[in-house]
Amino acid sequence: MKTDPHAYAENFIVEDHFKSQARARGVEVGAIDVTPGVGAYLRHLAFTLSAQSVVEVGTGSGVGSLWLLDGIIKSGTLTSIDDEMEHTQIAKLAFADADIEASRYRLITNSVLDVISKLTDKAYDLIVLRHNPEDLAFVIGESHRILRSGGALVIDNFFGGAKVNDPAQRDPKTIALREAGKIIKNDTEHWVSTLLPAGDGLLVATKL
């Protein structure tokens, strides 16, 4: 009996105790978190970029944050934004459990659109988007503004639960994901992009 290669890849890197505990808390409150395979990829990408300043949109339970903090340089900082106070609270608990120094992160509970529009130009190495797809068109533009040249943008859950590749699916979130893909794929003057089948799909773009 053959093993599913996708499942094998998803579990190739095993989550540690702190990520597993955070994930369990996230399940309790209905948070959307990265899969283990996506988390491992984000850690690797942050490490490859020698990322010092990272933005995460959609904190969830803090699982993705812990993966990113494993990958950024020791003096680096993660800014994680979520509009749900409950998510921020359980993420703080995850960071405390894992002994993450408070100087290494800032958790912001507010409207994503308000926060990201106030971040500094060309100041960030990596941005991970895991939030309302209907905000993506605006957030992609702001991401390009705040990323340094050579910095990377990642849109998690890009397949939208296997809906994006099905033309019959026309709900607002699916349409917004498709439009986000077109924005990035077609803007070859500003982005070099690829689509990866990790988790529920990762759209990855590097700023030119």
Q: How confident is the model at residue 83 (pLDDT cuts 50, 70, 90)?
A: very high
Q: What is the pLDDT of residue 1?
A: 62
Q: Taking a C-beta distance cutoff of 8 angstroms, is the pair 180, 140 a contact?
A: yes
pLDDT at 122 over 90: yes
pLDDT at position 3 over 80: no
Q: Is the pLDDT of residue 4 over 90?
A: no
Closest CA to 116 of 129, 105, 103, 102: 129
Tens of pLDDT along 128-153?
Answer: 999 889 999 999 999 999 999 999 99
Domains defined along the chain, listed by start:
5-207 (3.40.50.150)
Q: What's the rounded mean pLDDT across residues 56-76?
A: 97
Dihedral of CA atoms 109, 98, 129, 27 in degrees, nearest 10, equals: -80
Q: What is the pLDDT of residue 6?
A: 87
pLDDT at 131: 86
Buried b (16+ CB within 10 A) or exposed e, 19-47: bebbbebbeeeebbbbbbbbbbbbbebbe
**CB-based contacts of 135, cutoff 8 Å, min separation 6:** 112, 113
What are 96-101's contacts with CB under 8 Å, separation 24+?
A: 97/18, 97/21, 97/22, 98/18, 98/66, 100/66, 100/69
Over residues 45-60, mean pLDDT: 97
- Nearest residue to 158 (alpha-carbon basis) of 207, 115, 204: 204
Instruction: Please check the confidence at residue 2 and state whether its pLDDT lies above 80.
Output: no
Model confidence, pTM: 0.95
CA distances from 190 to 7, 134, 144 (A): 34, 21, 8
151-188 pLDDT, tens per residue? 999 999 999 999 999 999 999 999 999 999 999 999 99
Residue 20 has pLDDT above 70, yes or no: yes
Cα–Cα distance, 91 to 93 (Å, whole number): 5
Query: Does residue 198 contact residue 35 with C-beta atoms inside 8 Å?
Result: yes
- Phi, psi of 94, rounded to the nearest 5 degrees: -65, -40
Q: What are phi and psi of 188, to 5 degrees?
A: -75, -5
Share of the chain above pLDDT 90, in %: 94
Structure tokens at 123: 């100041």
Is residue 115 over pLDDT 80?
Answer: yes
Cβ–Cβ < 8 Å for 81, 57 = yes
The per-residue pLDDT of the chain, averaged, comes to 95
Mean pLDDT of 4-9: 88
